[in-house]
């Protein structure tokens, strides 16, 4: 979980703040207001247009969204899709290939089966037979883009929850900058991007929460300027059965929730979309494979790992370099 810190605003230009509900959660935008900028009501309308479009296209909780209509199609069918959906499918394919299939956008049937998805009935460990049946409908390889159409050769269902919010934040950041806003902190469902400075010249500071489900505690504070930041963790959505904990983060290769000691990963990246996807990918890979992947690919990542004595942290070289730095 990420939290913006607004202390030290100074006596110069004011910080304008607005927000509201979106994607089953909330969003917020904070920016430094100047007299030559559009009115805050205009900025808010522009931001909410983007959020409404993303929700209409990508929400699996809406029966009328583009992706829900696609998910309801049987195998060997195609549907014309908006360009942003095709863009995110391509990103999902890239992340799937880079994780050797562990990250996958088509895990929606698994989420439902285990009790975490929009069609879920009960949180419980499924039978081996039920799991085997559902796994036949999971796999990015069953998707194909044909011009402006998305096609499936099996009855797969796509879930953009691991990247849609980051994509929305990038869109919001680009719109703010097009409106002349250079100093801002934009957040949607916990994913965020910040640029510029606060009125007193200090950076936007983000608190990284300790991955606890019983209380809020700050693990680390980082300064962000020109980067997206995303945290993925297993501590908000899970259930327990027979003394074992099952999180909502799935490894598509096994069809089951991850079962390692990595509690959360925060990624800093120029793209909030990629920060969103990569934080999920690293969480799926776990404390060792995820760490090796982050170091190999120069990803700014902050790992929080469960240990007998509490939590231990591990920070990639890129994270140390980028947290507090300014994007070029």
The pLDDT of residue 68: 96
Is position 190 within any domain? yes
Quote the pLDDT of residue 24.
85
- Measured CA to CA, the distance from residue 245 to residue 257 in angstroms comes to 9
4-18, 105-119, 129-143, 174-188: range with lowest mean pLDDT: 4-18
- Pair 317, 211 in one domain: yes
Instruction: Tell me: do 255 and 269 sit in the same domain.
Output: yes
Provide CB contacts within 8 A for 237, sequence distance 6+: 116, 247, 248
* Residue 100 located in a structural domain: yes
* Half-sphere exposure of residue 214: CA atoms within 13 angstroms, side-chain side: 0
- Cα 275 to chain centroid distance, Å, stands at 7
Q: How far apart are CA 314 and CA 287, in angstroms?
A: 9
Query: 119, 152, 185: which is the final residue of a domain?
Result: 152
Give the largest CA-CA distance in the chain. 64
At residue 7, the pLDDT reads: 45
| Last residue of one domain, picked from the residues 88, 120, 152 | 152
The alpha-carbon radius of gyration of the chain (Å, integer) is: 20
Residue 86 lies in a domain: yes
| Both tokens assigned to 218 | 């700050």
HSE, CB side, 13 Å, CA atoms: give it for residue 140.
Answer: 23
pLDDT band at 140 (very low <50, low <70, confident <90, very high): very high
Indicate the average pLDDT of the chain.
89
Mean predicted confidence (pLDDT) in 156-163? 94
CA distance linking residue 46 with residue 183, whole number of Å: 17
The mean pLDDT of 8-37, rounded to a whole number, is 85
Tell me whether residue 159 is in a domain. Answer: no
CA angle 137, 127, 151 (to 5 degrees): 5
pLDDT computed for residue 120 by the predictor: 59
Q: Are residues 174 and 262 in the same domain?
A: yes
Of the two residues 219 and 275, the one the predictor is more confident about is: 275
Residue-number span of the structural domain to which 76 is assigned: 60-152
Quick one: 47 and 121 in the same domain?
Answer: no
pLDDT at 123: 72
Q: What pLDDT is attached to residue 174?
A: 98
Confidence of residue 11 (pLDDT cuts 50, 70, 90): very low
Is 158 a domain residue? no
327 in a structural domain: no
- With 70 as the cut, is the pLDDT of residue 4 above it? no
C-beta of residue 137 within 8 angstroms of C-beta of residue 156: yes
User: Do 274 and 221 fall into the same domain?
Assistant: yes
181 pLDDT more than 90: yes
Cβ–Cβ under 8 Å, residues 127 and 135: no
The label of the residue with tokens 């929700």 reads 55
Residues with Cβ < 8 Å from 215, sequence gap 6 or more?
none
Do 313 and 172 belong together in one domain?
A: yes
- Number of structural domains (the chain) is 2
CATH of residue 69's domain is 1.10.3980.10
Task: Summarize pLDDT for 91-112 with one digit per residue, the tens.
Answer: 999 999 999 999 999 998 888 8
Task: Give the pLDDT band of residue 152 (cuts 50, 70, 90).
Answer: very high
Q: CATH number of the domain that 199 lies in?
A: 3.10.520.10
The number of beta carbons lying within 10 Å of the beta carbon of residue 138 is 24
- Whether residue 292 lies inside any domain: the answer is yes
Quick one: which H or E segment has residue 114?
helix 108-114
Final residue in a domain of this structure, among 152, 182, 197: 152
Rounded distance between C-alpha atoms, residue 298 and residue 142, angstroms? 30
Q: What local confidence, expressed as pLDDT, does residue 256 receive? A: 83
Q: Which residue has the higher pLDDT, 244 or 285?
A: 285
pLDDT tens-digit series, residues 195-208: 999 999 999 999 98
pLDDT at position 9 is: 44
> Is it the case that residue 10 has pLDDT exceeding 50?
no
Tell me the per-residue pLDDT of 56-68, one tens digit each, with 9 for 90 and over. Answer: 999 988 999 999 9
Q: Both 199 and 276 in a single domain?
A: yes
Cβ density class 143-162: b for 16+ within 10 Å, e for less:
beeeeeebbbeebbbbbbbb
Measure the N-to-C terminal CA separation of the chain; round to a whole number of Å. 26
Q: Are residues 82 and 213 in the same domain?
A: no
pTM: 0.90
DSSP letter string, 219-251: EEEEEEBSEEEEEEESSSSEEEETTEEEES-EE
**Bigger pLDDT: 18 vs 127:** 18
Indicate if the pLDDT at residue 310 is higher than 60: yes
Average pLDDT over residues 20-48: 95
Q: Verify that 200 and 287 share a domain, yes or no.
A: yes
CA pair distance 174, 145, nearest whole angstrom: 26
Q: Report whether pLDDT(1) > 90.
A: no
- Asked if 251 and 191 sit in the same domain, the reply is yes
297 & 177 share domain: yes
Residue 194 lies in a domain: yes
**Chain segment 249-303, per-residue pLDDT in tens:** 888 998 888 888 898 999 999 999 999 999 999 999 999 999 999 999 999 999 9
* Residue 182 shares a structural domain with residue 127: no
């Amino acid at each position: 979980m990420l939290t913006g810190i607004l202390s030290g605003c100074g006596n110069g230009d004011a910080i304008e703040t607005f927000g509201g509900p979106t994607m089953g959660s909330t969003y917020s935008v904070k920016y430094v207001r100047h007299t030559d900028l559009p009115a805050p009501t205009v900025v808010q309308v522009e931001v909410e247009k983007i959020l409404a479009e993303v929700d209409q296209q990508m929400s699996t909780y809406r029966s009328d969204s583009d992706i829900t209509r696609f998910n309801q199609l049987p195998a060997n069918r195609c549907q014309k899709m908006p360009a942003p959906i095709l863009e995110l499918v391509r990103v999902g394919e890239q992340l799937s290939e880079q994780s050797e299939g562990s990250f996958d956008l088509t895990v929606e049937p698994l989420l439902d089966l285990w009790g975490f998805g929009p069609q879920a009935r009960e949180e419980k460990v499924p039978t081996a037979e039920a799991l085997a049946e559902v796994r036949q409908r999971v796999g990015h390889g069953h998707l194909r883009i044909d011009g402006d159409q998305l096609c499936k050769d099996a009855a797969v269902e796509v879930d953009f929850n691991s990247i849609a919010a980051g994509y929305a934040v990038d869109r919001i950041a680009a719109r703010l900058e097009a409106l002349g806003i250079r100093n801002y902190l934009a957040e949607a469902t916990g994913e965020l991007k910040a640029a510029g400075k606060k009125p007193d010249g200090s950076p936007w500071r983000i608190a990284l929460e300790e991955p606890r489900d019983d209380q809020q505690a700050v693990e680390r504070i980082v300064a962000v300027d020109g980067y997206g930041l995303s945290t993925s963790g297993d501590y908000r959505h899970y259930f327990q059965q027979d003394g074992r904990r099952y999180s909502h983060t799935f490894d598509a290769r096994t069809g089951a929730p991850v079962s390692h000691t990595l509690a959360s990963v925060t990624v800093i990246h120029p793209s909030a979309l990629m920060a969103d996807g990569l934080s999920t990918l690293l969480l799926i890979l776990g404390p060792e494979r995820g760490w090796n992947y982050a170091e190999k690919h120069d990803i700014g990542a902050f790992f929080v790992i469960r240990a007998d004595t509490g939590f231990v942290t591990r920070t990639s070289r890129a994270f140390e370099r980028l947290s507090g730095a300014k994007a070029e």
